[in-house]
A and B are shown apart, each in its own frame.
Chain A
Amino acid sequence: MTKDEINKKSEEIEKIYADYVAEMNKLKKEQDELLDNFLQELEKAKIEELKANLK
């Protein structure tokens, strides 16, 4: 490969990697949201349980 071809390939690799990092960040947000929702569900259930115990 010529120097120019090598440069093009390295740019291609960096682009692939940058897209991947963007995807991972997106997934990270989804994961946070998923677990936050689950936490809320748990908290809600916990409050319900406490209310029931108080009665």
Chain B
Amino acid sequence: MSEIKEQSEYESPKIIPEKLMGVGEIETQAGLERLAEERIVDAKLLAENLKSSGKSKLKTLIKLYGNILGSKSVDISVINAKVKLENEIIRDLFEKLKSKIKMAVTIGMATVAFSGAGDFEKAKGGESVTIETEIASIENLKQKATTEEEREAIENYEQLVKNAQESLQKINNSTRKEPDLKLRAEKIKEDLKKHIGSKEYFNKLVIEFEGNIDWAKNVQRDRLNFLNNVETNFSDKQSMQGKYLLIGRIPDNVDVPIPEWLLKIIDADSVGGFYLPFQHKIFLQNQHADDYTVQHEYLHASTNSIMGISEKAEEILRNSYKSIGEKGTDDYLSSITERLARKQALDAEMEKLGIKKYDEDFTGEHYDKLLEYNKAGNLSAGAREFIKTTKPEFFKQIFNEIATNKNINSDLTKYV
């Protein structure tokens, strides 16, 4: 027993960021950036240590009790699945930390880099603010500087904006459409349209909308229209991150460049795609949007986020949510659009794995089978999240009464 109890709780990070400064003593943006980077490195170290300690302990146990594991009395797949699941939670926590830190730092810096809150207000009023006008205004400012200190500050800021300009040019030059992704996205959209237009889908809509055939017809038509009209944009990593990080923080009509020095603290692989309901636009990252990401975003688009979801579906999805006790994660996973997208993906995953056909009624047997697959670790992360956050007594109602859009492929990827 002692072999697996040797590790104590994690202590404070071994790498102390800004050792000579500390909170309250960091005075520069560079210092803040360094703090962010170091905290991310510390966090990664903790995550890797915890993952590897779990694995190595399990390995030791397997080595010590190998003969027992061959017998029927101990099922190794259960512990394997649990350790795997825990490792995913660790990874998710780390990803969230990264994203929170990046958000905290990037937004502050991007705002400064762009030109400050006053200009955002100006832009909201319809006056166009560009990097070029900002550089011109810096020239005027230079003339007004009265001290060496002021002049230096202005020059530093000018450099910052020029870097941003250079970064924007690079982004514009490197943004390209990936033919393969474009074709795949088109195919996925077409498949979804066929599915939404099907009789089976319509029948389920009728149930969802309490037998009201006209209502179901309208919803079916609306969802097809949403898919027909959604604008799909293909972006490169840098552009993608910049857009995603600044959603809701800047006016829609202002294109904000993210300078290189900000981008370097951003893990450019972390966002594969996102959907903006008010603009009805999908953004897919050329290098990182796999089929599941593409489908996930089109699923959001098909209901125009929450606008195309029935009250009944909303109520069922809301009431069936089982909290995992972590506020930030609960806020995200309990949102109706995220629940619906995961439910839809699980519906299709069941079909793909041969658990249940789309037009088949969901039964207790299907549920048991689903749990078996889950226990064995054979479901995608999205599907597992849905199972984990759904009260068991609601499964039949969810899968029999809410119309859904079937999946095409369901490889795990990152999406929002």
Q: Interface of A with B (CB < 8 Å)?
A: 1, 3, 5-7, 9-14, 16-17, 20-21, 23-25, 27-28, 30-32, 34-36, 38-39, 41-42, 45-46, 48-49
Give every chain A residue within 8 A of B28 (Cβ-Cβ). Answer: 6
Instruction: A27 to B94: give the CA distance in the assembly, Å.
Output: 12
Give every chain B residue within 8 A of A12 (Cβ-Cβ). Answer: 104
Instruction: A6 to B73: give the CA distance in the assembly, Å.
Output: 58
Instruction: A43 to B79: give the CA distance in the assembly, Å.
Output: 15
Check A7 against B61 for contact (C-beta < 8 Å): no
Check A16 against B7 for contact (C-beta < 8 Å): no
Instruction: A46 to B112: give the CA distance in the assembly, Å.
Output: 65
Give every chain A residue within 8 A of B32 (Cβ-Cβ). Answer: 1, 6, 9-10, 13
A-B contact pairs, 26 of them (CB 8 A): A1-B32, A5-B108, A7-B23, A9-B108, A10-B26, A12-B104, A13-B35, A13-B101, A13-B104, A16-B39, A16-B104, A17-B43, A17-B101, A20-B43, A23-B326, A24-B50, A24-B93, A28-B7, A31-B50, A32-B4, A35-B57, A35-B61, A36-B5, A45-B73, A45-B74, A46-B65
Instruction: A26 to B13: give the CA distance in the assembly, Å.
Output: 16
Give every chain A residue within 8 A of B12 (Cβ-Cβ). Answer: 21
Instruction: A6 to B58: give the CA distance in the assembly, Å.
Output: 44
Majority SS at the chain B contact face: helix
Minimum Cβ distance to chain B for residue A52 (Å): 10
Given pairs A13-B39, A42-B74, 18 additional interface contacts (CB within 8 A)? A6-B28, A13-B104, A16-B100, A16-B104, A20-B46, A21-B46, A25-B9, A28-B7, A28-B9, A31-B54, A35-B79, A36-B1, A36-B5, A38-B58, A38-B61, A39-B61, A45-B71, A49-B67
Contact indicator per residue, chain B 1-21, by CB within 8 Å of chain A (1) or not (0)? 100110101101100001000
- Using CB atoms, name the residue of chain B closest to A21: B10
Check B4 against A35 for contact (C-beta < 8 Å): yes
Instruction: A31 to B61: give the CA distance in the assembly, Å.
Output: 14
Instruction: Determine whether B268 belongs to the interface, using a CB cutoff of 8 Å to chain A.
Output: no
Check A39 against B4 for contact (C-beta < 8 Å): yes
Check A6/B86 contact, CB under 8 A, given A20-B97, A21-B46, A28-B50: no
Instruction: Determine whether B277 belongs to the interface, using a CB cutoff of 8 Å to chain A.
Output: no
Check A36 against B10 for contact (C-beta < 8 Å): no
Minimum Cβ distance to chain A for residue B320 (Å): 25
Instruction: A7 to B42: give the CA distance in the assembly, Å.
Output: 20
Check B53 against A31 for contact (C-beta < 8 Å): yes
Number of inter-chain CB pairs below 8 Å: 125
Minimum Cβ distance to chain B for residue A23 (Å): 5
Minimum Cβ distance to chain B for residue A2 (Å): 10
Check B23 against A10 for contact (C-beta < 8 Å): yes
Partner of A17, one of B24, B65, B97: B97
Minimum Cβ distance to chain A for residue B177 (Å): 36
Minimum Cβ distance to chain A for residue B161 (Å): 15
Check A1 against B108 for contact (C-beta < 8 Å): yes
Minimum Cβ distance to chain A for residue B380 (Å): 22
Instruction: A53 to B194: give the CA distance in the assembly, Å.
Output: 63
Check A42 against B86 for contact (C-beta < 8 Å): no
Give every chain A residue within 8 A of B57 (Cβ-Cβ). Answer: 35
Give every chain B residue within 8 A of A49 (Cβ-Cβ). Answer: 67-68, 71, 73
- Using CB atoms, name the residue of chain B closest to A38: B79
Minimum Cβ distance to chain B for residue A6 (Å): 5
